[in-house]
């Protein structure tokens, strides 16, 4: 099988990571990948428009495009919905949100997260540690960021910050080597590749849970989550509106049970490159659009 992929983003963040990790996963499964429009004349079996805010405009001209997404737009666009039938969505809350739009009701919304490279993000839980905690900060309030620091300082624990958009992948990788656990102070995530890389590295996470998405405007709001892929093996969540007492109690429980968490096992069971690439193939082969 050969799959043609349209994307305008091949960076190490967001949409670019979706392309990079999907391609790795497909190649591990023996699937050939060709880029559009770079290799325009090469034969292919399926054509896909991957996550990018610009690529969908080119996809409108691709009559045999089988899948579009995930997250080619923040809010669904009627002109894109009119053209295609099958869409990838990165998590359940995004799927539920898209379904609230009348023009998406008859569309096939396929739940699909991209995989995490567990070789590129090896288990660091047994490494000697120079510090205690990584605070990963992405767009939540400074109040929550300061409270995270307070939780640690009150217990004499060391910590460092990484802020979304202001770090390199190597800096995050180095932080997972140095720290025993992480505190996630983030807004909602459609998938959350960075925190899943932290989980893959074996760091349990204490999460300030944000329960609604209103990033676009107050008029566009829906139930959401900061950690769409997460279970009890990964750490502890505390709701955004929790009292200080509740937060301190939850953090105490988290620290007391730190050695019982196994976040990497969750990633290995649900989000490896191969698992997610196979899910992608299953979705692709379920669509009605295939090159003649």
> Tokens standing for 269?
């069971």
Instruction: Provide the CB-side half-sphere exposure for 1 (13 A, CA).
Output: 17
- Gap between the Cα atoms of 262 and 203, Å rounded: 8
- Gap between the Cα atoms of 150 and 230, Å rounded: 25
Can you give the pLDDT at residue 12?
65
Can you give the pLDDT at residue 292?
42
pLDDT tier, 54 (very low <50, low <70, confident <90, very high otherwise):
low
Task: Taking the CA atoms of 22, 286, 267 and 186 in sequence, report the sign of the dihedral they define.
Answer: positive
At 166, is the secondary structure helix, strand, or coil? coil
> Tokens standing for 274?
């191969």
> Residue 159 has what DSSP assignment?
E
β-sheet bridge partners, residue 110: 88
Can you give the pLDDT at residue 6?
86
Q: What are the chain's domains? A: 2-115+272-286 (3.40.50.2000), 133-270 (3.40.50.360)
Can you give the pLDDT at residue 76?
84
Q: What is the pLDDT of residues 80-135, one digit of tens each?
A: 888 889 999 999 999 999 999 999 989 999 999 999 999 999 999 999 999 999 99
**32-41, 115-124, 160-169, 191-200: least confident range:** 32-41
Can you give the pLDDT at residue 39?
61
Can you give the pLDDT at residue 57?
66
> Residue 260 has what DSSP assignment?
G
Can you give the pLDDT at residue 11?
64
- Gap between the Cα atoms of 269 and 30, Å rounded: 21
Average pLDDT over residues 163-184: 95
> Tokens standing for 212?
């609604």
The candidate with the shortest Cα–Cα distance to 70, out of 22, 115, 32, 18, is: 18
Say if residue 244's pLDDT is above 70: yes
Looking at the chain, the number of H-run helices and the number of E-run strands are 10, 13
Tabulate helix, strand, coil % of the chain (nearest 5). 35, 25, 40
Share of the chain above pLDDT 90, in %: 67
Say if residue 184's pLDDT is above 50: yes
pTM, to two decimals: 0.93
- Gap between the Cα atoms of 29 and 20, Å rounded: 15
The residue count of the chain comes to: 292
Q: Give the chain's radius of gyration (CA, Å).
A: 20
- Gap between the Cα atoms of 66 and 86, Å rounded: 7
The candidate with the shortest Cα–Cα distance to 149, out of 208, 107, 196, 99, is: 208
Can you give the pLDDT at residue 128?
93
Average pLDDT over residues 198-217: 89
pLDDT tier, 288 (very low <50, low <70, confident <90, very high otherwise):
low
Say if residue 290's pLDDT is above 60: no
Asked if 213 and 221 touch (Cβ cutoff 8 Å), the reply is yes
- Gap between the Cα atoms of 201 and 206, Å rounded: 15
Say if residue 155's pLDDT is above 90: yes
> Tokens standing for 42?
């090469």
Can you give the pLDDT at residue 173?
96
Say if residue 1's pLDDT is above 50: yes
Give the number of other Cβ atoms within 10 Å of residue 194's Cβ.
21
249 versus 10: which is more confidently predicted?
249
How does the average pLDDT of the chain come out, rounded? 90
Say if residue 53's pLDDT is above 70: no
């Amino acid at each position: 099988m050969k799959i043609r992929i349209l994307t305008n983003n091949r960076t190490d963040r967001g949409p670019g990571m979706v392309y990079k990790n999907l391609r790795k996963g497909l190649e591990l499964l023996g699937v050939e990948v060709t880029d559009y429009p770079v290799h325009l004349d090469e034969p292919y079996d399926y054509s896909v428009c991957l996550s990018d805010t610009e690529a969908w405009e080119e996809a409108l001209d691709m009559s045999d495009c089988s899948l579009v997404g995930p997250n080619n737009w923040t809010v669904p666009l009627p002109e894109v919905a009119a053209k295609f039938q099958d869409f990838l969505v990165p998590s359940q809350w995004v799927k539920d949100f898209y379904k609230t739009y009348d023009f998406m009701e008859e569309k096939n919304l396929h739940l699909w997260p991209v995989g995490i490279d567990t070789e590129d993000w090896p288990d660091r839980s047994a490494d000697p540690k120079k510090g205690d905690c990584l605070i990963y900060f992405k767009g939540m309030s400074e109040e929550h960021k300061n409270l995270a620091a307070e939780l640690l300082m009150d217990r004499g624990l060391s910590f460092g910050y990484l802020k979304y958009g202001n770090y390199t992948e190597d800096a995050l990788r180095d932080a997972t080597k140095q720290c025993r656990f992480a505190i996630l102070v983030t807004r909602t995530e459609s998938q959350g590749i960075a925190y899943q890389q932290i989980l893959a590295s074996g760091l349990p996470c204490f999460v300030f849970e944000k329960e609604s998405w209103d990033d676009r405007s107050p008029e566009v709001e829906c139930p959401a989550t900061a950690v769409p892929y997460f279970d009890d093996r990964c750490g502890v969540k505390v709701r955004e509106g929790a009292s200080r007492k509740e937060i301190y109690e939850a953090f105490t429980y988290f620290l007391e049970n730190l050695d019982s968490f196994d976040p990497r096992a969750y990633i290995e069971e649900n989000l490896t490159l191969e698992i997610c690439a196979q899910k992608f193939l299953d979705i692709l082969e379920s669509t009605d659009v295939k090159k003649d």
